[in-house]
Structure 1
Amino acid sequence: MSDYRPLPVEYKDQYQRLLRYAFQPEEGPDNDEDDGNSDLGDRRGMFDGDDLLCVCKQYWFTTNVRGDWHQMAGLSAVASPPESRHGGLVREMLAESLAEYREKEVYFSALWPFSYEFYGKYGWATVAKYTRYETTPDALDLGTEAAGEFRRLDADDWELLVALFDAYGENYALSVDRTEDWWRERVFEGWKKDPYVYAWLRDGEARSYIVYSVDDEDDGKRLKVWETASADDEAYRHLLRFVQYHDSQVETVEFLFVPESTDLLDIVANPRDVECEIRTGPMFRLVDVPRALETISYDAETGVVLRVTDPLVGWNDGTFELDTNGVVRCDRTDADPDVTIDVNTLSQLVAGYHSVEDAERFGELDVHEGDARDDLAALFPEEDVYLREHF
């Protein structure tokens, strides 16, 4: 009988070995690299007695869901050795993780998947897309007149960026309220090497910032932009000017995780100089359907009866009546459902990733009662979703 519990400190080396084998088997068994940022998050494991069978890591975030701050769990570092696979252990660990979140009254969960199909069959669903650009420094020469100043920052400057980051995040659902530790250990520090962090300031105020690294690759040196935030279009153009100033050092510029858009194609003089690719991002799911639906805010006063299916946990499997007239309530009911929906698709609606129309096209949403479509659309309007934290 396996047991899910926190990982004692004496298992840290074994935890590291399991992660290396799962995500970097090509490095061999004698690679002593740490997983980086190890002080953040809580390690968990499935045990048979004292034998560690598989592991994961839990992070605890505060994130924006439907305009309010809510607790969200970040699931990461799910790993099992080959001798423990295909026996249902990871499935059991995922279910135990949800039970832990529920006990802590954390009703939302996110992860970055190694496989969308794998986590999709357990109830998580794609919840955001992002843009990757690849170009050259010369393509970013916009003729922007020099103004303000660029300043290199270190971890002790993290507070200088908070207001800018928070204002930028107001545009997106699932933006995170970063802690000081997250700024220091996940923005100013990297896994194998630390990035550069620069801000563009005007009158002493940070108006934009950029986090990047430079790698020497087979096709030459590549400047990889990991994160940016800008107060306005002017501040963004100054960041592009800053990147363009590296024309004597790098051959290629790569913007890795831009909120879904194609704006750079319209900004540069020759859009054919920019490769633009839309990629899928993190996955998201409701931990406890009725409690999650009761905690979020609504702009409509209405009601709908939902028949929900969940492939992993029984407490979400059933029929629930959501009533937002006055005090919001969501309770189990014996009433006939207005809609049938799986937890994956419901999670996408709650996050704002899909409109109701798209949920019917791409997800598992079946509307039985005509008015319910309008009710759902009023309850869960589409929003821009961008979870930039990687964990």
Structure 2
Amino acid sequence: MTNMKLDETHFGSYFDLSIYAFNKKVSVQRKSFFRKLYEHSSDWGSVESGKVVSGVINTPFMTHFHGTQFKMGGIGYVASYPEFAGQGSIGQLMNLALDEMYDNGTTLSYLAPFSYPFYRKFGYEATFDQTIYRMNTKDLPRLKVKTIGHVERHRYLDVKEELNKLYQQNQLSQQGGIERPDWWLTYSAEKHPNWEVAVYYNEKNESKGYLVYQRETDEFKIVEWIYQTTESWLQLQSFVLKHQSAYEWFSYESPIGQPFPDVLANPQVEVTTQPYMMARIVNVDDFLSRYPYQQDFSQIVIQVQDSTIHANEGCWQISRIDGETKVEKTENSAPTFTTDIQNLTRSMMGYRTLKHLKQYGFVSGDVTLFDGALIKEQPILSDYF
């Protein structure tokens, strides 16, 4: 069995693996959107007798993080045939993908875990949450909203550029969310043929918000909800409520991890918050150097433990004076605090404060200065790899 970078000749074999591993049905549509992903990604596989038996797909994206852009690798379609599972091939492919990411200047990586303990071995940690809202029709409010502007229904592919413009102007794209290239929009639409779109236009016929939703037998599912103004929020909410005679349940999987049931007309709804995606810093030097710090701080030394990407391992001397950040690796300075790559990631991404992590024993040392300079807003990710 050989671990290798895959090419076009391996596409059919990897597609067959994905069908088997994720229990999907073969269709022209599925093969079409999977090809888009495969062709726009870096594909790694374990090959036995010319057949891909294990695989990892790494898709390059750009993330927007509070005004700073970073290259990010999105890991997906991690799969093995059962007779080859447990032989270590996925771990070897993950290491190859991470090495390639580091070498090509990628700063962050995200993935959807099948096992949190497994991916923690490679430096990933829970970083993104979802809040799930679910309401029975009988509990829906009967709102009376004066119609201002109008809502139009469209096919996703027909308005994807318009939707993307609104998305890029929203917090969903600015707190760790990805930049959505045109191929990704097409891929998402083909992967989810049941998605429908409602766009809100104000009185000047300017688009100010949208809903991506899916109608099932007894449930109206909101996939994504973008609104720029109070009016767009109210008019889109009214659009949703006009479906209440047709469905027993209404739900919304919000990428904002903190629940806000009180902003709904009826706050007595079923609300759950659950882990969504994991992340890791791939290049500590770059993330420390270009991070959008919230205040200056004098020189500190961070000792980082990273057993997967050894270039990140060691002591990093860092300061930010008059808005200028200086970072260098040092071997002669005592650490101000010590952390592993997982907890450095979730603290710098805003998921947990260093003070909180120290309280539970994940970090040791004096975190006061550095913690005070970090983002305190939870990261948001609306996409899935």
C-alpha RMSD of matched pairs (Å): 2.2
Which amino acid is the alignment partner of residue 374 of structure 1? T
Gaps of 5+ in 2: none
- Contact in 2 for aligned 1:62/1:177 (Cα 8 Å): yes
Same amino acid, percent of matched pairs:
22
**Which residue in 2 is equivalent to 1:375?**
369
SS in 2 for 1:77: strand
Distance 1:35 1:343, change over 3 A: farther
Q: CA separation in 1, counterparts of 2:111 and 2:31? A: 17
Please tell me whether the aligned partners of residues 304 and 312 of structure 2 are also in contact (alpha carbons under 8 angstroms).
yes
Report the Cα offset of residue 373 of structure 1. Answer: 1.9
CA deviations on 1:49-78 (whole Å, 9 max, x unpaired) are: 744331111211111234311111111111
Matched residue type, 1:268: A
Scaled by the length of structure 2, the TM-score of the pair is 0.89
Q: Distance in 1 between matches of 2:173 and 2:310?
A: 35
Partner Cα distance (1:255, 1:358) in 2? 29
CA distance in 2, matches of 1:112, 1:172: 20
Q: How does 1:1-391 map to 2 (within 5 A)?
A: 2-5=2-5, 7-24=6-23, 31-33=25-27, 34=30, 37-38=33-34, 39-40=36-37, 41-42=40-41, 43-47=43-47, 50-137=50-137, 139-154=140-155, 155-169=157-171, 172-186=174-188, 188-191=189-192, 193-202=193-202, 203-216=204-217, 221-269=218-266, 271-272=267-268, 274-298=269-293, 299-325=295-321, 326-362=324-360, 364-367=362-365, 372-391=366-385
Is the CA contact (8 Å cut-off) linking 1:137 and 1:245 kept in structure 2? no
Q: How far, CA to CA, are the matches of 1:72 and 1:10 in structure 2? A: 26
Structure 1: 5+ residue stretches without partners: none
Assess, with a 3 A threshold, how the Cα gap between structure 1 residues 362 and 390 changes in structure 2: closer, same or farther: farther
**How far, CA to CA, are the matches of 1:77 and 1:57 in structure 2?**
6
- SS of the residue corresponding to residue 282 of structure 1 reads strand
CA gap 1:171/1:180 in 2 versus in 1, 3 angstroms: closer
Aligned-pair CA distance for 1:303: 2.3
Report the secondary structure of 2:170's partner residue.
helix
Amino acid paired to 2:357: A
Output the CA distance in 2 between the equivalents of 1:116 and 1:312.
16
Read off the aligned partner of 2:214 and give its amino acid letter: S
| CA distance 1:14–1:313, change in 2 (3 Å) | same
The more displaced of 336-345 and 132-141 is: 132-141
- 1:48 and 1:344 map into 2 onto residues whose CA distance is 33
Letter in 1 for 2:230: D
Map Cα deviations across residues 236-287 of structure 1 (whole Å, 9 max, x no partner): 1221111111122211111123412333344223x33x21111112111011
Normalising by the residue count of structure 1, what TM-score does the alignment of the two structures yield? 0.88
Q: 1:381 to 1:288 in 2, by over 3 A?
A: same
CA offsets 1:284-322 (integer angstroms, 9 cap, x no match): 101122233223233324222122112323222222222
**How many angstroms apart in 2 are the aligned matches of 1:291 and 1:303?**
17
Matched-pair contact (CA < 8 Å) for 1:321–1:333:
no
CA-CA distance at 1:36 after TM superposition = 6.2
Partner AA of 1:85 in structure 2: A
Give the conservation status (yes or no) of the 8 Å contact 1:22–1:79: yes
Change (3 A) 1:140 1:118: farther
The letter for the 1-side match of 2:53 is L
2:229 alignment partner AA: D
Distance 1:137 1:180 in 2: 36
Counterpart code for 1:279:
Q
Conservation of the 8 A alpha-carbon contact between 1:306 and 1:321: yes
Summarize deviations over 1:335-390 as a string: whole Å, max 9, x none: 221111010000112211111212223562111xxxx4222113323123101111
Structure 1 residue ranges (4+ consecutive) displaced by more than 4 angstroms after TM superposition: none
Alpha carbons 2:63, 2:70 under 8 Å: kept: yes
Question: In 2 relative to 1, CA 152–58 (structure 1 residues): closer, same or farther, beyond 3 Å?
Answer: same
Letter in 1 for 2:227: S
SS in 2 for 1:207: strand
Aligned-pair CA distance for 1:152: 1.5
Equivalenced residue count is 373
Q: Distance in 2 between matches of 1:181 and 1:171?
A: 17
- SS of the residue corresponding to residue 383 of structure 2 reads coil
Separation in 2, partners of 1:21, 1:53? 11
Moved more, 329-338 or 256-265: 256-265
SS at match of 1:328: strand
Deviation at 1:184, TM superposition (A): 2.8
8 A Cα contact 2:13 2:51, kept in partner = no
Partner Cα distance (2:117, 2:212) in 1? 31
Distance 1:198 1:66, change over 3 A: closer
The answer to whether the 8 Å contact 2:200/2:209 transfers is yes
